[in-house]
Copies of this chain bind each other. A is one copy, B any other.
Amino acid sequence: MISRRRFNSTLIEGAAALSIVSSLRAADKSPNFVVILADDLGYGDLGCYGHPTIRTPNLDRMANEGMRFTQFYAGASVCSPSRAALLTGRLPIRTGINRVLVPWSAGGLRKEEATIPEALKPAGYATACVGKWHLGHLPEYLPTRHGFDRYFGIPYSNDMSPRTAGNPTYIQQLKQHADAPEYTPLLRGEDLIEKDPDQSQLTARYTEEASAFITDSVKAKMPFFLYMAHTFPHVPLFAGDRFRGKSPRGLYGDVLEELDWSVGEVRHSLSSLGVERDTLVFFTSDNGPWLVQKYEGGSAGLLREGKGSTWEGGFREPGIACWPGKIPAGAVTESFGTTMDLLPTFLKLAGLGVPKDRVFDGADLSEVLLENRPGREPLLFYYLGPELQAVRKGPWKLHLAATNPGIGENWVTCFERPQLYNLLQDPSEKYDVSDSNPETVEDLERAIEEHKRTLQPGPAQT
A332 on the interface (CB 8 Å rule)? Answer: yes
A353 on the interface (CB 8 Å rule)? Answer: no
A183 CB to nearest B CB, Å: 31
Query: A47 — which chain B residues lie within 8 A by C-beta?
Result: 332
A163 on the interface (CB 8 Å rule)? Answer: no
Complex Cα–Cα for A257 and B261 (A): 34
| Known A44-B301, A302-B299; contact A50-B50, beta-carbon cutoff 8 A | yes
A239 CB to nearest B CB, Å: 14
Query: A431 — which chain B residues lie within 8 A by C-beta?
Result: 294-295
Query: A334 — which chain B residues lie within 8 A by C-beta?
Result: 52-53, 248
Closest to A406 in B: B430
Query: A253 — which chain B residues lie within 8 A by C-beta?
Result: 425
Complex Cα–Cα for A71 and B424 (A): 27
Query: A51 — which chain B residues lie within 8 A by C-beta?
Result: 50, 70, 302, 427
Which residues of chain A from 51 to 99 have a CB within 8 Å of any chain B CB? 51-53, 55, 60, 64, 70-71
Complex Cα–Cα for A428 and B291 (A): 12
A459 on the interface (CB 8 Å rule)? Answer: no
Closest to A427 in B: B52
A250 on the interface (CB 8 Å rule)? Answer: yes
User: Is chain A's interface secondary structure helix, strand, loop, or mixed overall?
Assistant: loop
B52 pairs with A249, CB closer than 8 A: no
Complex Cα–Cα for A249 and B64 (A): 23
B249, B301, B425: the one within 8 Å of A50 (CB): B301
A426 on the interface (CB 8 Å rule)? Answer: yes
A274 on the interface (CB 8 Å rule)? Answer: no
A376 CB to nearest B CB, Å: 15
A435 CB to nearest B CB, Å: 14
**Contact flags (1/0) for A419-448 with B, using CB distance below 8 Å?**
000001111101100000000000000000
**Contact flags (1/0) for A380-395 with B, using CB distance below 8 Å?**
0000000000000001
A7 on the interface (CB 8 Å rule)? Answer: no
B250 pairs with A424, CB closer than 8 A: yes
Query: A360 — which chain B residues lie within 8 A by C-beta?
Result: none
Closest to A44 in B: B302
A49 on the interface (CB 8 Å rule)? Answer: yes
Given A53-B425, A252-B425, 6 further pairs, Cβ under 8 A:
A44-B301, A47-B332, A48-B48, A48-B50, A52-B302, A52-B334
A-B contact pairs, 14 of them (CB 8 A): A44-B301, A44-B302, A48-B50, A51-B70, A52-B71, A53-B424, A53-B425, A60-B332, A248-B334, A248-B425, A249-B425, A250-B424, A299-B302, A299-B427
